[in-house]
C-alpha cells in the first residue's frame, strides 16, 4: 500500500501516512463539499494497515474545523479503530488543539465518548 | 431601468449591521471564497476563536445544504441561487441568515423539522445529533447526511427562526436565521 502525502487546500486538511512507523496524520480544516473523495483513501489505508500489520497504529490529528460530512467520515474511521481495538490491535489517537479554541476540544471529546481505545486530547499553546 | 440606489442600499446594510452578504448562483468555490472573507472579518473584529468558528460552521453548513439541495433537485443556475447575510443584532451577537428557493412540499417539511428542533434543549439536540450521525447514509440525500440543520441548531444560542414565502411559480423561498 502506498503512503499518502496529500497537501492541504482551503477546505481540505493535509494528510500524511507512514506505514513503516504506523502513523497517519492530518492537519487543518476539513469542509469539502464532497468528503468521500477526501476520506476514502484514508479509510482504505487504515483498513489495509489493520488487516496486514500487527504493529501499533496511531493517528496524529491537528484538525481544526470539520463540517458535518467530514465528521461522519471521521466517525467511520474511529469505528474502524474501535473494531480493531476490540479484536486486540494496538491503536491510539492523539488530537492536538490550540487551547484558545475550546470548540475543537469539544468536537474531539464527542468522538472520544464512543471510543474505548487510548484517545488523548492535548492542548497546546 | 433605474440605476441601483447604492446610497439606500448602503444605509440599509449599515442599519442592519450587515458585514457580509451575497445573492446569486452559488458555487463550491464561491462558498470557499466568501468563507475566507468571513474568517478574515471575524479575525479583524477580534471575535473569540470559538465564536468565530461557530459563525463559520453555521455559514458552511447552511450554504452547503443549499448546494446539496439544488443539486438533488437538479435546478438550473437561476434557481440554484442563494441569499446569504451575515450580520450582528442589537445585542452584538452574530446572525447567519441563508435562503433559497425550494419546492413547496420541501419547504413544509423543513419548517416542521425546524419547529421540532426548536423544542429541544442542548442535551436533547446532542442526542438527536448523535442518533443522526449513527444512521446509515442515504445515497439520495447527498453527503449532507441530514446533520447540517441539527448542527446549526446546536451552535445557535436561540431557537432557529425560519420562514417560507410563496413564489408565483408555486415554489417557496425558504429562509433560515441562526443567532450565534
List, run by run, the mean pLDDT of 10-residue segments along chain A (125 residues): 95 98 98 92 97 97 96 96 97 96 95 97 94
Buried b (16+ CB within 10 A) or exposed e, A91-119: bbbbbbbeeebbbbbebbeebbeebebeb
End-to-end CA distance of chain A: 36
Q: What is the pLDDT of residue A29?
A: 97
**Which pLDDT band holds residue B4 (cuts at 50, 70, 90)?**
confident
Q: Is the pTM of this model over 0.90?
A: yes
End-to-end CA distance of chain B: 39
> How many Cβ atoms are within 10 Å of B118's Cβ, its own excluded?
14
Of B16-20, B89-93, B139-143, least confident by mean pLDDT is B139-143
Gap between the Cα atoms of B20 and B35, Å rounded:
10
Task: List residues bridging with B84 in a β-sheet.
Answer: B22, B98
**Which pLDDT band holds residue B1 (cuts at 50, 70, 90)?**
low
Q: What is the DSSP string of B72-99?
A: HTT--GGGSEEEEEEEE-TTS-EEEEEE
Q: In chain B, what residues touch A69 (CB-CB under 8 Å)?
A: 64, 143-145, 147
ipTM reported for the complex, 2 dp: 0.94
State the average pLDDT over residues B120-135: 95
Q: In chain B, what residues touch A33 (CB-CB under 8 Å)?
A: 28, 31, 64, 67-68, 143
Q: What is the pLDDT of residue B78?
A: 73
Gap between the Cα atoms of B82 and B73, Å rounded:
14
Task: List residues in chain A touching B: CB distance below 8 A.
Answer: 10-11, 31, 33-36, 64-65, 67-69, 71-72, 75, 98, 100-104, 110
Q: Is B102 on the interface with A (CB under 8 A)?
A: no
H/E run at residue A45 = helix A35-52
H/E run at residue A58 = strand A57-66
Q: What is the pLDDT of residue B138?
A: 66
Sole residue written with cell 444605509 = B11
Amino acid at each position: 500500500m502506498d503512503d499518502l502525502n496529500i497537501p492541504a487546500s482551503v477546505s481540505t486538511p493535509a494528510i500524511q501516512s507512514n506505514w513503516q512507523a504506523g502513523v497517519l496524520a492530518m492537519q487543518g480544516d476539513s469542509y469539502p463539499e464532497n468528503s468521500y473523495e477526501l476520506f476514502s483513501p484514508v479509510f482504505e489505508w487504515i483498513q489495509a494497515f489493520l488487516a496486514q500489520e500487527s504493529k501499533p497504529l496511531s493517528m496524529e490529528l491537528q484538525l481544526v474545523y470539520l463540517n458535518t460530512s467530514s465528521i461522519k467520515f471521521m466517525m467511520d474511521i474511529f469505528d474502524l479503530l474501535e473494531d480493531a481495538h476490540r479484536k486486540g490491535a494496538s491503536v491510539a489517537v492523539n488530537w492536538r488543539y490550540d487551547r484558545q479554541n475550546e470548540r475543537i476540544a469539544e468536537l474531539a471529546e464527542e468522538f472520544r465518548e464512543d471510543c474505548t481505545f487510548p484517545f488523548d486530547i492535548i492542548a497546546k499553546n | 431601468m433605474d440605476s441601483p440606489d447604492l446610497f439606500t442600499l448602503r444605509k440599509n446594510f449599515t442599519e442592519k449591521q450587515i458585514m457580509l452578504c451575497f445573492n446569486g448562483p452559488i458555487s463550491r468555490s464561491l462558498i470557499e471564497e466568501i468563507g475566507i472573507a468571513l474568517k478574515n472579518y471575524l479575525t479583524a473584529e477580534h471575535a473569540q476563536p470559538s465564536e468565530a468558528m461557530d459563525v463559520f460552521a453555521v455559514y458552511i453548513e447552511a450554504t452547503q445544504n443549499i448546494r446539496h439541495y439544488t443539486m438533488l433537485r437538479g435546478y438550473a443556475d437561476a434557481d440554484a441561487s442563494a441569499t446569504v447575510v451575515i450580520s450582528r443584532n442589537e445585542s452584538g451577537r452574530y446572525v447567519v441568515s441563508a435562503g433559497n428557493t425550494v419546492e413547496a412540499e420541501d419547504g413544509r417539511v423543513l419548517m416542521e423539522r425546524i419547529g421540532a428542533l426548536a423544542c429541544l434543549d442542548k442535551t436533547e439536540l446532542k442526542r438527536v445529533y448523535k442518533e443522526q450521525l449513527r444512521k446509515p447514509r442515504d445515497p439520495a440525500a447527498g453527503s449532507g447526511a441530514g446533520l447540517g440543520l441539527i448542527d446549526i441548531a446546536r451552535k445557535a444560542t436561540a431557537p432557529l427562526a425560519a420562514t417560507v414565502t410563496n413564489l408565483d411559480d408555486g415554489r417557496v423561498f425558504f429562509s433560515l436565521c441562526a443567532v450565534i
